[in-house]
Structure 1
């Protein structure tokens, strides 16, 4: 496998106002091919993003809805709120948790580029500030477009939630195992305490997540620190396909509850703030 980490050390790096390393394609084979700078205040740009709505996955507590995502001061702000929303699909007899809950007690937003922008290989950067309170589960991730999960492949560029009760930063990839809805995972789980030891003010600052995706590997960085490297020679589905050799789309969301923990003692509202999303390709 080509050691792209060494290759990228040779790249020129631009420095942002808070001294985070940014990818600078000058002098490389890469060019900026897609970007969302969130520089148009108001509603999220519907030509770039679609919304998930209602209850979606993982027995999470939030009801996804459009009003919880707005663009202000050059940034996307996804707001988690404690508020009661009636479930229009409610059926007490249903065995589906999305239907047998009469109300949601929390709301948030989840946006994605499915059908509007997909990419295969390249470098994706997202500068964001996450809320690390109990109950929060923010994420930056991608999904393949061609098959149902997990055969389509999932790349978790950033997840923050509780692992055995401990606050954790995760960088993962998932693909299909034998049996419907069974996944194989390549996971990196870094205790959040490590980041707090380095900087007690970490939660109040923006940070830079970067994914370097080639045919051979996926590398996930946080503030230029390598968190996980996934060898794509291993990520083959039982049917012989490799979901990381196919196009993916981008998702940004703030979940509440589930792996995030019990939010009942947490004060609301909470904000997940994204400064930009950029994709570079050869």
Structure 2
């Protein structure tokens, strides 16, 4: 099973350290792009399960939470992914299982994760969200393909409680998990958890551009990820939004900050015509 990388050492810093010093990305939509999905949770009462699937279980990065659809709900004008301190039994428990996702019988925490049913090849992905604060929280908005090589991942936004008021954006790509190249940027954002921010990816054949509130955090050329016959960043990926707790990057969890919420005000996706 592929997993989002947690190691940040040695990343190639292409983004800008301070959001205020960055340049604005192009805001003109490509002529071929059409709006293919839109959810405004100020109006919607439920998640569109025709577009999303809700994940259940343990997944990646030795994270502590067990994902449960009950932790995903719409309230007060936002889609909520809620991390809780509560005991959950692993429905896939197998003491002789192949890895930790099966051999852990219980979780001390639960949370929410949603994954688009459709895989996209290029387009614009815009999520308006408010992240939680507190040690052990690890919210993320990202594109991923977990169905086989070559490995590709675009992290539109990650935030970790141990590094408050900072947004991380990254690209990881290679022939496999064992052979990856990395591009990353970060943005300092004072009082990050106090308000909603707009996270946006513009993914084209010749460019990946990630912006927060209209300011570029990371820009790279997908050609740089090509290795031999593998062209990872020109292959389809699914959109995932999740709130992890603990794990290889989230670190120690402060139970006093729970329940913690990743709140989504809206999601919009534009994609090229097929």
Normalising by the smaller structure, the TM-score range is: 0.7 to 0.9
Closer, same or farther: CA 31–88 of 1 in aligned 2, 3 Å: closer
Task: Indicate the structure whose relative CO is greater, using CA pairs within 8 Å and at least 6 residues apart.
Answer: 2
1:185 aligns with 2:153: no
Match of 2:9 in 1: none
Q: Distance in 2 between matches of 1:281 and 1:88?
A: 36
TM superposition shift of 1:37:
2.1
Contact 1:187 1:228 in 2 (8 A): yes
TM-superposed deviation, 1:51 = 1.6
Partner of 1:175: 173
Unaligned stretches of 5+ residues in structure 2 = 1-22
- Report the counterpart of residue 156 of structure 1 in structure 2: 155
Aligned with 2:63 (options 60, 64, 67): 60
| Mapped partners of 2:206, 2:270: distance in 1 | 17
TM alignment of 1:1-282, pairs within 5 A: 8=26, 11=28, 30-38=33-41, 39-42=43-46, 44-92=47-95, 94=97, 96-114=99-117, 117-144=118-145, 147-148=147-148, 151-161=150-160, 166-167=163-164, 168-177=166-175, 181-190=178-187, 194-196=188-190, 201-238=191-228, 240-258=229-247, 259-281=249-271
| Residue of structure 2 equivalent to 1:17 | none
The answer to whether the 8 Å contact 2:137/2:253 transfers is: yes
The change in CA–CA distance for 1:89 and 1:211 in structure 2 (over 3 A counts) is closer
Helix, strand or coil at the partner of 1:233: helix
What is the CA–CA distance in structure 2 between the aligned matches of 1:118 and 1:65, rounded to whole Å? 22
**CA-based RMSD:** 2.5
**Deviations along 1:77-112, whole A, 9 cap, x unmatched?**
111000001223434455621122221000011111
The alpha-carbon deviation at position 153 of structure 1 amounts to: 1.0
Provide the C-alpha distance between the structure 2 equivalents of 1:176 and 1:81, rounded to a whole number of angstroms.
Answer: 35
Contact 1:41 1:73 in 2 (8 A): no
Which runs of structure 1 show a deviation greater than 3 angstroms over 4 or more consecutive aligned residues?
27-31, 88-95, 165-168, 179-182
TM-score of the aligned structures, taking structure 2 as reference length? 0.81
**How far apart in 2 are the matches of 1:56 and 1:8?**
35
**How many positions carry a matched residue from both structures?**
247
Shift of 1:257: 0.3
2:125 and 2:269 in contact (8 A); partners too: yes
| Alpha-carbon shift at residue 184 of structure 1 (Å) | 1.8
Q: 1:254 to 1:180 in 2, by over 3 A?
A: closer
Deviation at 1:31, TM superposition (A): 3.8
Structure 2: how far apart are the matches of 1:207 and 1:175?
A: 27
